[in-house]
Amino acid sequence: MIEKSLADAVAFPGIPETTLIRAMRYTLLLPGKRLRPLLTLLACEACGGSVDDALPAACAVEMVHAFSLIHDDLPCMDDDDLRRGKATNHVVFGEAQALLAGDALLSFAFEVLSHDAGSKPAPQVQKNLSPEIALVCTRELAMATMSMIEGQSLDMEGFGGHPSPEQIEGMERQKTGALIVASLRMGGIVTGASEEQLAALSEYGWRLGLAFQILDDLLDVEGSEKETGKRVGKDVEKGKRTSPSIFGVEQSRKRIEQLIAQACDSMKPFEKCAGALISLAESMREKRR
């Protein structure tokens, strides 16, 4: 369902095929885990909503994620040539077009969320959200994107050399956590979730996001290119302070376990409706080595 919606959103029927559109499509439609849009749909379901209503938000959040991947891989940032097992966007389309494709995906995410406002032809993912709901989603997504960019900026700066574990965790919350939390909250918002439900989704998201980031850092130490679809060992090479480098591999694994358990715990208010979100968190255990 997510794959189809994403493909439809960037199909642009009747519009001439341009390099920009091909570059947007290239990264957005690479096979990925689709973690963030999945969280949006599952959060919507957990709150008793119909997943159809959550599709525009799900697509928008994956577009923001794809934008961040393209820009993070650029030579002036992490300078990566491999992503999701394929050449990165700038390797295929050149730096200028990759930069613009990232910009376009970010901008298009907000177009998708505001789809049925105004009279112009709407993107394919159009659903009928109320203006209030669409606007709250816009704000959630914009604020999370700002957090993510701020986290990336701090990460690039390296905190002037000797960050504390708290600083690193704070940066990782911004860099990875904020968008994951927004993914979940938007799923709740489109179905009119209560403040309590949204708070529970946020808690789950912060914990899952941090577990996910530590796992990612562990895979950079222990994983293979085949497994991760990207270059490994880059953090160590750059002397980047990550959870495994500070606390060691064993401690980091324990922290992931703890965070998964806490994430599942956050889902208690939903009783049986959050089964899929709990399974998703627990499935991260299997990926731990």
Interface residues with its own copies (CB under 8 A)?
Answer: 18-20, 67, 71, 74, 76-77, 94-97, 99-100, 102-104, 106-108, 110-111, 113-115, 117-118, 120, 130-132, 134-136, 138-143, 145-146, 149-150, 152-154, 156-157
Q: List alpha helices for the chain, DSSP H.
A: 2-9, 19-28, 35-46, 51-73, 89-93, 95-113, 131-157, 165-172, 178-189, 195-222, 225-228, 234-238, 243-266, 275-286
Name which of 88 and 152 has its Cβ closer to its own copies. 152
Name which of 149 and 261 has its Cβ closer to its own copies. 149
Question: Residue 218 CB, nearest distance to its own copies (Å)?
Answer: 25
User: Which residue reads 């270059």 in tokens?
Assistant: 231
Question: Residue 130 CB, nearest distance to its own copies (Å)?
Answer: 8
For residue 82, the surrounding DSSP H or E stretch is strand 82-83
Q: Is the dihedral of CA 277, 110, 142, 138 positive or negative?
A: negative
How many Cβ atoms are within 10 Å of 281's Cβ, its own excluded? 24
Cα(280)–Cα(165) distance, rounded to whole angstroms?
27
Name which of 146 and 236 has its Cβ closer to its own copies. 146
List Cβ neighbours of 237 (8 Å cut-off, separation of 6 or more). none
Residue 52 has, within 13 A of its CA and on its CB side, a CA count of 5
Name which of 143 and 236 has its Cβ closer to its own copies. 143
Question: Residue 262 CB, nearest distance to its own copies (Å)?
Answer: 24
Name which of 196 and 286 has its Cβ closer to its own copies. 196
Question: Residue 272 CB, nearest distance to its own copies (Å)?
Answer: 29
Name which of 42 and 133 has its Cβ closer to its own copies. 133
Question: Residue 224 CB, nearest distance to its own copies (Å)?
Answer: 28
Question: Residue 253 CB, nearest distance to its own copies (Å)?
Answer: 31
Cα(276)–Cα(260) distance, rounded to whole angstroms?
14
Cα(81)–Cα(130) distance, rounded to whole angstroms?
41
Residue 16 is classified by DSSP as: P
Main-chain phi, psi angles of 171, to 5 degrees: -65, -40
Name which of 39 and 104 has its Cβ closer to its own copies. 104
Question: Residue 96 CB, nearest distance to its own copies (Å)?
Answer: 5
